[in-house]
């Protein structure tokens, strides 16, 4: 359109097929129709083909008896339960390893990220080597490797007996499980009271500090009171409030206590050290995104190295760290589907067994994908909320 022509006839002159406003809408409609059409064609084909192959979309089998057993289950489960219950066991195992993995990977990742920036040459190099080794080898290979190492531990009959009733063998780590005894309740009350006093002391100390008043070591006093409540209460109630269920060796296995199975350990360790390498890089990037002047200013104020990190660098680095950190969390949860490689009954493994035993792969896979999607979306939601909160803090 030239200026001259628009001067002569501002609107009537441009035909619709050359009008950018019309063309934009047409283009969008065409794209939507094309994409929608493609999805519809694929969808109808799927439905048709499944009908021909005698496959159904139905999830009715979830109510049927599962019939297979699951080695590790946080909730009671036996083969007479339904497929739905079996799936729930898998889901809980996935969530358990996901939550634990995220916590541990974050801790390790932060340490690695900080170490990569350490003034200590050796520490820096070790952290760098760790990151490069872990993120440049496939996780599946690492899992097989870790599991193979665990299998090299002594068999059950030659179990390592560690002090404190801890036993280690190729099937896992067996530790005493704390069990509340009858005197647990009064002890808990005393400890609770101590905790309330300690928290109150810390809060008051904080307020006084903010107001520039002397704190009279209130924090220390609060902590001491709490410690006194825990220890004093233990003896005051008469009889140990917490008893320990020590693992016992039976004919084949250990019973009692808590067990970290080799499968679980291999998967957890694999996921944590793999993801921590990525998180370490995210943390390093976040720290380096904080301007040098901030650190110099903190030093000029006389803050120690730790204080500088904690009070000046991290709060500003977090806004850079959190979005990519969310991706790493999602990766960790999704990567936990490799559990099948080490025999840990997670969501995917139970799902695959279900798919096989029922002969219904399509609905089961759709169910599995939907479940992972839901887990990831919820994780994202919380991380986004957190992200928004730390963004507000920024000035």
Partner 1 sequence: MARFRLSIIGLAILALVVTACGDQAPAESPGATDDVDSTPAATMDEESPDETDDPGTGTTGGRLDLIRERGELICGVNGSLPGFSFLDQASGEMSGFDADFCRALAAAVLGDPDAVDFRPTNADARGPALQTGEVDVLIRNTTWTATRDTQWGLFAPTTFYDSQGIMVRSADNIGSLDDLSGATICVQTGTTTELNLADVLGAAGVDYTPQTFGELEQTYSAYDEESCDAVTSDKSQLLSVRTTLTNPDEHVILPDRLSKEPLGPVAPFGDEEWFNVVKWMVFALIEAEEFGVTSENVQEMVNSDNPAVARLLGADGEIIPGLDADWVVAMVSAVGNYGEIYDRNLGPGTPTALERELNALYTDGGILYAAPYR
Residues engaged in binding partner 1 (CB under 8 A): 42, 45-46, 48-50, 52-55, 67-71, 78-80, 140, 151-152, 155-156, 170-171, 250-253, 255, 262-263, 337-341, 343, 345, 348-349, 352-353, 355-362, 365
Q: Which is nearer to partner 1, 116 or 171 (CB)?
A: 171
Pairing of strands 172-175, 258-261: antiparallel
Query: Least distance (Å) from partner 1 to the CB of residue 286?
Result: 30
Classify the phi-psi angles of 67: left when phi > 0, otherwise alpha if psi is within -120 to 50, otherwise beta.
Answer: left
In the complex, the smallest distance separating the C-beta of residue 347 from partner 1, rounded to whole angstroms, is 11
Cβ closer to partner 1: 13 or 248? 248
SS3 177: strand
Q: Which CB sits closer to partner 1, 165 or 256?
A: 256
Q: Which is nearer to partner 1, 316 or 331 (CB)?
A: 331
Q: How far is the CB of 355 from partner 1 (least distance, A)?
A: 7
Radius of gyration of the chain (CA): 29
Question: Whose Cβ is closer to partner 1: residue 113's or residue 345's?
Answer: 345
Give SS3 for 178. Answer: strand
Alpha-helical (H) ranges within 336-360 are 347-358
Alpha helices in 117-164 (DSSP H): 121-135, 139-151
Question: 3-state secondary structure string, 157-171?
Answer: HHCEEECCCEEEECC
Pick the closer one to partner 1 by CB: 326 or 360.
Answer: 360
Residue in this structure with the two tokens 């979005």, named with its chain if needed: 323
CA distances from 367 to 26, 59, 361, 378, 383 (A): 37, 9, 10, 17, 24
Closer to partner 1 by CB, 130 or 372: give it. Answer: 372
Q: Which is nearer to partner 1, 21 or 251 (CB)?
A: 251
Neighbours of 306 (CB within 10 A): 8
Minimum CB separation of residue 79 from partner 1 in Å reads: 4
- Rounded to a whole number of angstroms, the minimum distance from the CB of residue 121 to partner 1 is 39
The partner residues of 254 in beta bridges, in order of sequence, read 249
What is the per-residue DSSP string for 103-114? HHHHHHHHHHHH
Tell the smallest beta-carbon distance from residue 38 to partner 1 (Å): 11
CB of 358 to partner 1, least distance (A): 7
Residue 43 vs 180, nearer CB to partner 1: 43
Give every CB contact of residue 353 below 8 A, 6+ residues apart in sequence.
Answer: 68, 86
3-class DSSP state for residue 17?
helix
Query: Could you tell me the smallest distance in angstroms from the CB atom of residue 278 to partner 1?
Result: 18
Helix, strand, coil % in the chain, rounded to nearest 5: 70, 5, 25
Task: Provide the minimum distance between the beta carbon of 153 and partner 1 in the complex, in angstroms, as a whole number.
Answer: 10
């Amino acid at each position: 359109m030239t200026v001259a022509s628009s001067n002569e006839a501002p609107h009537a002159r441009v035909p619709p097929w050359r009008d950018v406003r019309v063309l934009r809408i047409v283009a969008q409609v065409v794209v939507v129709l094309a994409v929608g059409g493609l999805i519809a064609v694929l969808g109808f084909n799927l439905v048709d083909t499944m009908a021909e192959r005698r496959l159904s979309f139905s999830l009715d089998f979830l109510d049927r008896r599962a019939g297979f057993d699951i080695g590790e289950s946080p909730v009671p489960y036996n083969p007479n339960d339904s497929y739905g219950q079996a799936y729930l066991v898998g889901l809980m195992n996935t969530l358990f390893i996901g939550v634990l993995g995220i916590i541990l990977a974050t801790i390790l990742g932060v340490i690695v990220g900080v170490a990569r920036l350490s003034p200590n040459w050796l520490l820096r190099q070790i952290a760098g080597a760790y990151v490069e080794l872990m993120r440049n080898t496939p996780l599946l290979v690492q899992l097989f490797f870790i599991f193979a190492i665990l299998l090299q531990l002594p068999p059950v009959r030659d179990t390592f007996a560690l002090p404190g009733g801890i036993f280690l063998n190729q099937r896992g780590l067996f530790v005493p499980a704390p069990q509340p005894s009858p005197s647990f309740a009064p002890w808990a009350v005393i400890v609770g009271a101590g905790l309330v006093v300690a928290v109150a002391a810390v809060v008051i100390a904080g307020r006084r500090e903010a107001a520039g008043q002397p704190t009279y070591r209130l924090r220390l006093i609060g902590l001491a009171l709490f410690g006194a409540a825990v220890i004093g209460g233990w003896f005051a109630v008469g009889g140990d409030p917490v008893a320990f269920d020590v693992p016992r060796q039976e004919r084949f296995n250990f019973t009692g206590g808590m067990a970290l199975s080799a499968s679980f350990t291999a998967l957890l360790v694999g996921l944590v050290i793999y993801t921590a390498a990525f998180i370490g890089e995210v943390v390093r990037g976040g720290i380096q995104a904080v301007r040098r002047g901030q650190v110099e200013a903190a030093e000029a104020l006389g803050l120690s190295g730790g204080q500088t990190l904690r009070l000046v660098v991290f709060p500003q680095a977090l806004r850079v760290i959190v979005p990519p950190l969310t991706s790493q969390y999602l990766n960790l949860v999704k990567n936990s589907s490799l559990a099948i490689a080490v025999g840990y009954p997670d969501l995917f493994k139970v799902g695959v067994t279900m798919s096989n035993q029922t002969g219904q792969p399509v609905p089961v896979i759709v169910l599995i994908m939907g479940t992972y999607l839901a887990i990831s979306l919820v994780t994202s939601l919380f991380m986004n909320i957190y992200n928004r909160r730390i963004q507000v803090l920024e000035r």
